Structure 1
Amino acid sequence: MQLLALLACALLVPSLHGHPIRPRAQRNSGLLTLPVRRVERNTDLHVDLRHQQNINRAQRLVARAAGLPGPSDVELLQNLHRRAEFIPELERRFNIPQANAGLPTIETSGIAKLAVENDDDTSDNAPPKLANFSSVIEIDGADTSYVITVQIGTPARDFNLILDSGSGDLWVSSDQCTSENGSGCGNHTFLGSDVSSSFVNSRKKWSITYGSGFANGEIVNDTIVIAGMVMNDHTFGVAHSISSSFSGDTIADGLMGLSKSGLSTQGVPTPVEALRNLGFFKSAITSYRLPRLIDNENNGEVTFGGLDETKFDPSTRVDINASNSSFWIIPLEGVSVDGQSVAVNSTEALMDNGTTLLVVPTADAVALHSQIPGAKQQGSGQFSIPCDTTTNVSLRFGGRDFAIDPKDLVFASRGRKTGDCTSGIGSFDDDKWLVGDTFLKAVYFSTNVDANTVTLAKAI
């Protein structure tokens, strides 16, 4: 029986137009560059529960990287219930069921009442924003995703795809798609033989499970245009069945995985490898400049085939050998707070732009927050920090320290500058760091499949 999830996603779509930029021949010969849109899933769900959704996803992702079974939906839902118990306004107002009561005894009405108050009015008279249904973990980043637009089919139509360096498949929803709850697959652009004359179905099955949901269907061939470059007869997936986390997302029509192709459940090259194979550029390199909402700049981009030197300080560039894993895992050489070294146990970092937070082993999170002025460990085991923190937290990779922007240390503050905010550094029980957008928004992040390297530099 499918579990009831907690609350609905209300999507705010940035105003950046999604048409691809053609290769910048004058500046970056042989490179393909597209704008990246930052999609804010800024729901009415309480910030701490959204934070927990990210922790949930992190638990599943690192389990996949280790080749281990991840936590079940039941366990993840219990995580959310436990977290809710430490949110006073929810416990007081809605009589939240205790997690140890066991999920089979939790009443639907109790789950549906897990609603958040208006952030600007937390008085007892503030009307609750009632919950709909959503996933226990949202689609590849509970708070944000980064989306590009490509053209697929004949005639070509725009498809919005989530960028994910932590998976290896490209897929879009098919015109036969149904959601896990038996309904349609939402308001998306769909693909099939009725809408594309170049569509060819191999009838071969494929399936993928993410930390945030699933998709399964058939492997097909069709024309895909990325940054003006045409890939005829490209092999990828169409999804006939998707989880509610995907069907409920009105922005993304599918997902583009940009790990190494060893993660492809379809058994095909990733898009950047396919573009390399076709001769559009020499190396299967993907480079990201992730935008930040509060900067009010539409400066995000993804570049295939190399690095855009206008987006980073070249004097800060380091090239780091990655592990043999199909994930982008590199050595973590050290951590410091305001220039003072912090002793941590972990020596590995999984780099993933599909993860919103920086999620670290619990002991490392305690050591790190103990050096951040005003940080507090909450009853839930997670942390708060002052909303106006100016603390400099740096991670050392490739012999160089890279600082997290203090405004990224705060999770979903909505610009609030007073009191305490949830930390953008979360904790879980694992032995490696999952380095997501809390860190990656401050750096230029590039992956090279052919050299098996990760490049980092200070973003500009």
Structure 2
Amino acid sequence: MLSALFLCFTLLLYASDVFAAPQPSPAGNGISMNLHRRRPSYRTREEWGQWARNKREMLMTKYGASVPQKRSSGSNLLVNQNTDSSFYGSLAIGTPAVSYDVILDTGSADLWVADSDCVSGCSSIPTFNTADSSTFVNKSTDFSISYGSGSASGFLGSDTVQMAGFSVSDQVFAVCDTVTSGLLTDPVSGLLGLAWESISTSGTTPFWQALVAGGAWDEPVMSFQLTRYLGVTGASSLEPGGTFTMGFVNSTLYTGDIEYTDLVDSGSYWLLSLTSLTAQGTSVTIGSGSEAYAAIDTGTTLVGGPSEYIANLYAEIPDATAGTGDYDGYYIYPCDTDVNVTMSFGGKSWSISNQDFQLTKISSSECLGAFFELTTGNSAPAWIVGDTFLKNVYSVFRYSTAAVGFAELSSYALSMNGDTSATVPTATIGSVAAAVSATSKSGVQSNYASRTSLGAGTPNTVYLPWISKFPENKPE
């Protein structure tokens, strides 16, 4: 389930240098991680069309829908697009610990990394050598994940996994020796799912869930602040991407209160009910019940929803037209239109900036919208809400009571957007302040005073799909 069990979408331009800017300071005991992002190079209208088609098909496959089999050469672009479309974070595996960059995805629940004995798809990326870790245990169980863009397969094992100052001593994960070419691009070695155990392909407890259930976190929450470089002149291939925290919320990154909404189906996806959608100040007719269920998915860059309601949205945007060919399922509108879209999940309406809604220019006057028509499987949510929305809020994922919260970004957080003078931090292995056992949920250390913020010196760099999410295989 690369949920982003499917790398669905890849946005554009981002600027790079370094997050030497002041590092967010923890508001309580917990750990901060800096985020990176990558941007794609210039594409022609035809290349963007192939990209758009592939991204839509990947997300449909990820969420259980059948996709028309007319891929032709479009699937080949996934290699390029995946290179520029994700946020990644570093974690460490084994004894001695070795760090790896992985996609962070709230839309999936499995951890997997490429094997040093990989026979395909891993030649240019860092890989995990099981023989180098004295604590690795081979579970002798086959593992396979399929995506719209390819697949990864191998076997399950367990080992010590560390991230942002936390450690799980016997975390089960997959070591993959066969990966579709282009599915992983240096420096990314795999994917870390941050959804619930019930949708885990391997049927094992996710890393984050083992930590929170084991009592390792001060608060049962994890949060994201994502930066924006879309449309910024001079953006580089790697840019600071914001902050991911586990065990606390960072009060320097948001203002006002966090509005929490309980999950409509706790324990699977981070699933909310979309209650209101507006475009250009006008309310858009949307469905109710399961037709309004929306997965809040950091591993997806855009926003996908049922065809009827996406059409209703674009009907409010002057001169917007449905795409055809490679742009089937997308809408094209005049670039000089300032689009204002809001979404609500039962409380406040949250605005999506025109910068995020305007995915890319496909000609001098035509732009591609970031909302697209999506068909999912019977058991998957009708709406997938990705980074197009999440870049505009501080998002919090709460374990108990299971909920997702949103808050307004602080002026400090907003100042990070488009900062081409910031330094991209280097991922390092930090000290462990709290450890649990994934199986027994025991062994939690109480000495949180020794935790250090993983900022410029010891960042756990997080990487999430920017314009497309990393594909993931989600069971129906």
Q: Is the structural similarity TM-score above 0.5?
A: yes
Distance change >3 Å, CA 330–CA 427, structure 1 → 2: same
Asked whether the equivalents of residues 358 and 436 of structure 1 are also in contact (C-alpha less than 8 Å), the reply is yes
Q: Which residue of 2 aligns with 1:96?
A: none
SS in 2 for 1:250: coil
1:207 deviation in Å?
A: 2.1
Cα deviation, 1:271-300, whole Å, max 9, x if unaligned, reads: 111222443215542211122123667351
Distance change >3 Å, CA 195–CA 412, structure 1 → 2: farther
SS in 1 for 2:116: strand
Of 134, 150, 155, 1:197 maps to 134
What are the residue-to-residue correspondences of 1:20-169 with 2, within 5 Å?
27-42=26-41, 44=43, 46-63=47-64, 70-71=65-66, 75-76=68-69, 78=70, 80=71, 111=73, 134=76, 144-169=85-110
Asked whether the equivalents of residues 373 and 391 of structure 1 are also in contact (C-alpha less than 8 Å), the reply is no
Q: Which residue of 1 aligns with 2:450?
A: none
Distance 2:270 2:82 in 1: 17
What are the residue-to-residue correspondences of 1:318-337 with 2, within 5 Å?
318-324=260-266, 326-337=268-279
Distance 2:308 2:267 in 1: 25
Of 390, 404, 418, 2:338 maps to 390
One-letter amino acid matched to 2:400: D
SS in 1 for 2:117: strand
Which of the two has higher C-alpha Rg?
1
| 1:409 pairs with 2:357 | yes
One-letter amino acid matched to 2:136: F
What are the residue-to-residue correspondences of 1:282-431 with 2, within 5 Å?
282-294=218-230, 298=240, 300-315=242-257, 317-324=259-266, 326-345=268-287, 346-380=291-325, 381=328, 382-413=330-361, 419-429=365-375
Distance change >3 Å, CA 401–CA 12, structure 1 → 2: closer
Q: Which residue of 1 aligns with 2:389?
A: 439
1:324 deviation in Å?
A: 4.0
SS in 1 for 2:308: helix
One-letter amino acid matched to 1:424: A
Distance change >3 Å, CA 386–CA 221, structure 1 → 2: same
Distance 2:80 2:203 in 1: 23
Asked whether the equivalents of residues 319 and 398 of structure 1 are also in contact (C-alpha less than 8 Å), the reply is yes
SS in 2 for 1:308: coil
1:241 deviation in Å?
A: 1.7
SS in 1 for 2:216: coil
In the alignment, structure 2 segments of 5+ residues that lack a partner are 1-9, 411-476
Per mean C-alpha deviation after superposition, the further-off stretch among 192-201 and 29-38 is 192-201
Distance 1:57 1:18 in 2: 32
Distance 2:144 2:210 in 1: 20
Distance 1:379 1:62 in 2: 23
1:211 deviation in Å?
A: 4.1
1:401 deviation in Å?
A: 0.5
Asked whether the equivalents of residues 224 and 230 of structure 1 are also in contact (C-alpha less than 8 Å), the reply is yes
SS in 2 for 1:176: coil
Asked whether the equivalents of residues 87 and 241 of structure 2 are also in contact (C-alpha less than 8 Å), the reply is no
TM-score, length-normalised on structure 2?
A: 0.72
1:302 deviation in Å?
A: 1.0
TM-score, length-normalised on structure 1?
A: 0.74
Distance 2:152 2:409 in 1: 34
Distance change >3 Å, CA 207–CA 302, structure 1 → 2: same
Per mean C-alpha deviation after superposition, the further-off stretch among 303-312 and 426-435 is 426-435
User: CA-atom RMSD, angstroms?
Assistant: 3.2
Asked whether the equivalents of residues 141 and 356 of structure 1 are also in contact (C-alpha less than 8 Å), the reply is no
What are the residue-to-residue correspondences of 1:209-224 with 2, within 5 Å?
209-224=146-161
Kindly tell me the number of residue pairs found equivalent between the two proteins.
381
Distance 2:279 2:133 in 1: 54
Cα deviation, 1:292-324, whole Å, max 9, x if unaligned, reads: 123667351111123222222233633333324
Q: Which residue of 1 aligns with 2:443?
A: none
